[in-house]
Copies of this chain bind each other. A is one copy, B any other.
Amino acid sequence: MTSQDIEKLRLQMRELTNEIFLTVQQRMEISKEIGEIKSHLCLDVTDQSAECDIRKSIMLLSKDIGLDSKFSNRLLNILFAESVKVQEMKQSDGKQTHLSVFNKAKQLEAEGKRIIHMEVGEPDYRAPPSVRNALIEAYDHGHYHYTETVGISKLRQGIAKDVGQGVPDSNVLVTPGARFGVFAIISALVQPDDEIIIIEPAWPAYKECANFMGARVRSLRTNLENEWTPNLGELESLINDDTKLIVLNYPNNPTGKILNENMLGKIIDLACAKSIFLLSDEVYSNHAFTRFRSILEYEYDRKIMVSSFSKRFAMTGFRIGYVVASKDIIDKAKNIQALAVTSVSEPIQYCALAALNNGGEDNTHLIKQRLELIMKYLDKLSIPYVKPDGSFYVFPRIGDEFDRKDLSLVDKLLHSGVAFAPGSGFGNQYHSFIRISACQPEALLAEGMEKFERIWSSQ
């Protein structure tokens, strides 16, 4: 065997590569034709069942001819994505979320306008006084160096003890906020050829992180009529061989829903049967008005719990949270954290430790009272909603299903001095909802709801 042999083989390789691209081009032509017919018939561009059929048959073929299944999947995803692209104009990405309303509100404030913030889930009460001492001590003791990427030992121990369930320290990763926990887990566990399932309406970060990784998102939609309960049969039908992760978020943002134990158990059984990772975002677990069971109470090696100090200790702006999962999963998420941020700010880690050891009072009852105040206004206006089981929010319906009026209403409200979050930020199907946050003193909430009432009644 010589270099000349290589040259001969390389020539063959070039010819085959050309052939591949010519066939791909033919495929795109067919795809365009299908696109034109679909547009005449007003059909959706993406046809999941057609894709699914092709995927199944190609996977069988790949197995027969000895191609790696991951590779074939990736190749297929690229072909599918390009087909969709040639079939449709890129959708405008002018999507509004609670965060974009918050940023607009901040701008208006900078221009001197007074805004009542009912758009973000940021507690108005103070962080525990123990945190003040922690800040001073961090400076005085020189606790402002790189720490181990996973977090300082004392804090990991504190978190492990706090979550209970016999979780060892090694199963804890301290992160710069729960958001980074979600980002690290999705980046670590999900590949471009994978699918994740989210239950909508949902905090937009799950979908955004999956999109960032080039993964496909399947949405299980829930609705007000069913009190935001997911349908298990539908969930099952969304699962396929590519499903890598299901995201749960209870108490839910934006609906305030808590799953009953029976339902949660069934979802865990389903994930377990199919070896799917289960990411449970429990940042509102300390604001539950009915019994809440953490995913940590269940036995399953692919469960992941994300939480933070933000909502419980009013420490949003400190940016500190954590992930609890098996050592194996933690190691993978740790690699993402090492890559992106090295480690979490050491003074802030000591603040979190102080809050755990000597935290503030429980504000659950306070939040519940405030939510009741908001609900009274909604009742008066006969606006439908499901009474929240927990979290900081009410998610009322402000129109009919096809009434895409959340954005214009939110905009009107913002310019009258109160910021609400548009429902569509939590899923495309929720344009007829808004999210109202109870993170202000009652007097301010009442003022905000009166502004709402005025604009609502003048519609």
Q: Contact between A106 and B148 (Cβ–Cβ < 8 Å)?
A: yes
In contact, B54 and A13 (Cβ under 8 angstroms): yes
A13-B25 contact in complex given A79-B20, A208-B339, C-beta closer than 8 Å: no
Are the C-beta atoms of B17 and A58 separated by less than 8 Å?
yes
Q: Which A residues between 108 and 146 are near B, CB-CB below 8 angstroms?
A: 110, 120, 122, 126-127, 131-132, 135-136, 138-140, 142-146
Contact segment of A63-71, A245-253, A261-269: A63-71
Q: Is A10 at the interface (CB under 8 A from chain B)?
A: yes
User: A364 at the A/B interface (Cβ < 8 Å)?
Assistant: no
Question: Quick check: B23 and A23 within 8 Å, CB to CB?
Answer: yes
A57-B135 contact, Cβ under 8 Å, with A23-B23, A106-B148? no
Task: Assess the B340–A319 pair: CB atoms within 8 A.
Answer: no
The residue that A131 contacts in the complex, of B62, B82, B139, with Cβ under 8 A, is B139
The answer for the CA separation of A320 and B176 in the assembled complex, in Å, is: 12
Measured CB to CB, the closest approach of chain B to A6, in angstroms, equals 5
- In the assembly, what is the distance between CA of A389 and CA of B180, in Å? 37
A54 to B110 CA separation, bound complex (whole angstroms)? 55
Whether A33 sits at the interface, judged by CB under 8 Å, is yes
Known: A1-B40, A6-B34, A135-B138. A340 touches B13 (CB 8 A): no
Q: Which of A226-234, A291-299, A344-352 contacts B (4 or more CB under 8 A)?
A: A344-352
A184 to chain B: closest residue by CB: B340
Q: How far is the CA of A348 from the CA of B138 in the complex (A)?
A: 12
A343 at the interface (CB under 8 A from B): yes
Return the chain B residue nearest A319 by Cβ.
Answer: B345
* Best-surrounded residue of A24, A27, A31, A38 (most CB of chain B within 10 A): A24
A82, B78: Cβ atoms closer than 8 Å: no
Q: List 29 A-B contacts (CB under 8 A).
A: A2-B37, A9-B30, A9-B34, A13-B27, A13-B31, A13-B54, A16-B26, A16-B30, A20-B23, A20-B27, A20-B75, A21-B58, A21-B65, A25-B67, A78-B78, A103-B148, A106-B148, A135-B138, A136-B136, A145-B316, A176-B319, A177-B341, A179-B341, A205-B339, A208-B339, A318-B345, A319-B341, A319-B345, A348-B348
Q: A17-B54, A345-B348 are in contact. List 6 more A-B contacts (CB 8 A).
A: A17-B79, A20-B24, A21-B61, A78-B78, A126-B142, A179-B341
